[in-house]
Chains A and B, each alone.
Chain A
Amino acid sequence: MIAVAQARGGARRLQFLRAWSARIGLAVFLFVVGVAFLGPYFAPHSPSAEPGIPFSTPSKAYPLGIDYVGEDVLSRVLFGGRTVIIFGALATLLAYAVGGAIGLLAGYSRTLIDPVLMRAMDVLLAFPPILFLLVVATTPRGQGHVALVSAIAVIHMPSIARIVRTAALETSVRGYVEAAVARGDRTHVILRREILPNIWGPVMADAGPRFTVSILLVAAINFLGLGPSPPTADWALMISENRIGITINPWAVVAPALLIAVLTVSLNVVADAIAHSLGKSLDVETLRR
């Protein structure tokens, strides 16, 4: 609780940057995000034009060579980073919005939602996340963006809801909440003005690790060919597309693989530093079952 109070004090919000590893991590993460979002403006060719002979090695015109159907690898790398980041972020936000709302209601109202929430969590914990995503992807409409983002959000939801519930339960018996109830404030006003600001810290402490896990899951699904389909440029998909030519033009595989590695590792370093500065948090290893 003390750590949370500190974290909300304006200047201390950037406290996590005191560690040099966090500073480097943040710089690298911002660089990769920059490549993903600004890259398309610098791409020398169209990501879906097919100007070259498949798996040609790097040359002046094509610095990273050509991929499996004759597209420019560099241009596809510059176009291919947005999907994982955007869908990872959307899934995490959706999980917090829905999971947070459920937890808030369960904790504040102490209703039947509570046992249902606990059982839902047990059922989801009986499943490796990737297995859940694969089962969803088998369904008739399970291979779209909406299905993927919602399924990843569902994986996070029960545990977010439980954390919010516990925090809301503790807060709802405080004097200032009882005062708000006594003066006749409406429930949604109490939730927004009295409860939410006071549980924000512990709830957000593991947003970073959750974002990392969401990105890992989106990337895994894209790699398996269950995400965007060609000719969409996507780092994870590029790896599986170009694997057969790894002996001829390894850059078509290595370049996107390195970018994903740098993205997730730097994000996790930053997430870990933020989580430490906020106090207690769930680690990636507990989320990544």
Chain B
Amino acid sequence: MGTLATTRARWRRHPLAAYAVRRVAVGAVLLMFVSMLVFGATQVLPGDAASAILGRSATAEQKEIYRKELGLDRPLPTQYWSWISGVVQGDLGKTLASRDPVTSFISVRVGKTLVLALATLLVLLPVALALGVWAGIRRDRAADHVISGISLGFIALPEFVTGTLLIASIAVSLKLLPPTSIIESGQSPLTSPRILVLPVLTLCITAAAYIIRMIRAGVVESMSSDYVQMARLNGVPEWRVVVRHALRNSLAPTVQVLALTVQYLIGGIVIVETVFAYPGLGQGLVQAVIARDIPTVQGVAMLLAAIYVVINILADFVVVLLIPKLRTSQ
């Protein structure tokens, strides 16, 4: 009991560490449930995977061999256990298409997806943050109406529609940029940055609308707060009110917005890579789904879900770092 009490006391002295440990533990449990969902959805739902993949013409023997290959003949908990213990050790199984390890399928593609995501963030963040803040401080003026109106429209556009319309106008009619972003195997997307422009632009249009609307809401809220009123009444110049009081207090929400943007990109990239035939992880995932390549889909889905969860934890942690009072209030 004595040691327990001292441990507790030590945790209390390091609330930040305690918070981090708790958040990571919750994240791990969450990922376990996600893994059950990913595994369960692909293995438990009704229907016979072997006949779905091999087609109706497959003989009973072929299906039997296939089931053995996938381990479908074993009881479900055993299947899950052998899969999840592999996942934890970094072994995601083999793709059905080429019999290569799923991990090498991922490593070939993940770099290209990262390049696309980072290029998007680099273009997106400064522009979208600036527009969001501008709309927020000029609330209900012309600039706000234009920015908010356009972003309300853009947020509802599906990425494949934006991408297709950009291809039709910029690539096909004006012939300014290539209509597809195919990369030859072994090449890096950075050797021909032109192919990145349209995919990045497509992602930016939806994601910028997303960021602008959230940042605007945050700035509008802090601009109408008591401390901003107080600063104004004290005669503080308006630019100083905005920079020192309103924006500083929008800092924590901005971290959340960044996290949500990256999470949005994970889903958006799947579609945009398919639209532009960009050979990244998202396009590979879609092809695996169409081919019903279960091990590949499970592996990529787990990876993307893990990134999603880690980003959430990181964002929460940074917010707690920025706002000290949250450290102890839980």
Interface size on A, residues (CB 8 A): 51
Contact B160 A239 (CB under 8 A): yes
- Cα–Cα distance between A41 and B165 once the two chains are bound (Å): 28
Q: How many A-B residue pairs have CB under 8 A?
A: 167
B165 touches A128 (CB 8 A): no
> Using a CB-CB cutoff of 8 Å, which residues 12-46 of chain B contact chain A?
30-31, 33-34, 37-38, 41-42, 45-46
Say yes or no: B41 contacts A257, CB within 8 Å.
no
* Chain B residues, Cβ within 8 Å of A137: 289
B46 neighbours in A (Cβ, 8 Å) = 140-141
User: Could you tell me the distance between the alpha carbons of A122 and B293 in the complex, rounded to whole angstroms?
Assistant: 27
Pairwise interchain contact B168-A257, C-beta atoms closer than 8 A:
yes
In chain A, residues 242-289, which have Cβ atoms closer than 8 Å to a Cβ of chain B? 243, 246-247, 250, 253-254, 257-258, 260-261, 264-265, 267-269, 272, 283-285, 288-289
Judged by DSSP, the binding face of A is helix
Query: Please, which residues of chain B bring their CB within 8 A of the CB of A269?
Result: 152-153
CA distance A39 to B172 in the complex (A): 29
A122 to B210, CA, bound (A): 22
Q: A138-B289, A141-B45, A285-B210 are in contact. Are A131 and B270 (CB under 8 A)?
A: yes
A38 shortest CB reach to chain B, Å:
23
State which of B161, B172, B293, B294 has its C-beta within 8 Å of the C-beta of A239. Answer: B161
B47, A140: Cβ atoms under 8 Å? yes
Question: Chain B: interface residue count, which band?
Answer: 35 or more
Task: Tell whether, in the assembled complex, residue B271 and residue A220 are in contact, meaning their CB atoms are under 8 Å apart.
Answer: yes
Which residues of A sit under 8 angstroms from B167, Cβ to Cβ? 246
Residues of B within 8 A of A (CB): 30-31, 33-34, 37-38, 41-42, 45-49, 51-52, 149, 152-153, 155-162, 164-165, 167-168, 172-173, 179, 209-210, 213-214, 260, 263-264, 266-267, 270-271, 274, 285-286, 288-290, 292-294, 297-298, 301, 304-305, 308-309, 312
Residues of A at the B interface (CB closer than 8 Å) are 21, 119, 122-123, 126-131, 134-142, 212, 216, 219-220, 223-226, 236, 239-240, 243, 246-247, 250, 253-254, 257-258, 260-261, 264-265, 267-269, 272, 283-285, 288-289
Give 17 pairs: A residue, B residue, CB < 8 Å, sorted on A.
Answer: A122-B33, A126-B305, A130-B267, A135-B41, A135-B301, A136-B45, A138-B292, A142-B41, A216-B158, A224-B286, A224-B289, A246-B164, A246-B172, A253-B168, A261-B157, A288-B155, A289-B267
